[in-house]
Amino acid sequence: MSTTKKFRDFVSEPMGNKPVTQLAGVGEVLGQRFNEAGFDMAYTVLGQFLVMKKDELLFKEWMKEVCGANQKQLSDCYGCLTEWCEEFL
């Protein structure tokens, strides 16, 4: 899978207090939608990802409902969280 600098930067370090917009696939528009739904930090999205047991279909459906992401954004964010978990969990 081809990755962006944003993706590589995210998965290369601990989560910390990164804003949701630092997740791959999440820009300002989706970030605002996430914020409005109560998911302002990347770790809150990670928490939802983990509650869903890292299930790709469930996570992507949830993300699409919450912020209206398109297929590329869904795939980028899912891949980013999956790789981060492989590295740090």
Closest CA to 77 of 12, 3, 17, 13: 3
State the Cα–Cα distance between residues 15 and 58, nearest whole angstrom.
22
Structure tokens that stand for 67 in this block = 């912020």
State the Cα–Cα distance between residues 43 and 1, nearest whole angstrom.
23
Range of the domain at 76: 5-88
- Residue 21 Cα distances to 30, 53, angstroms: 8, 22
Decide if 11 contacts 77 (C-beta within 8 A). Answer: no
Rounded average pLDDT per 10-residue block, the chain, 89 residues = 79 93 96 97 97 98 97 96 95
Domain at 27, CATH number? 1.10.150.40
pLDDT at position 75: 96
pLDDT at position 7: 87
Q: How many domains does the structure of the chain reveal?
A: 1
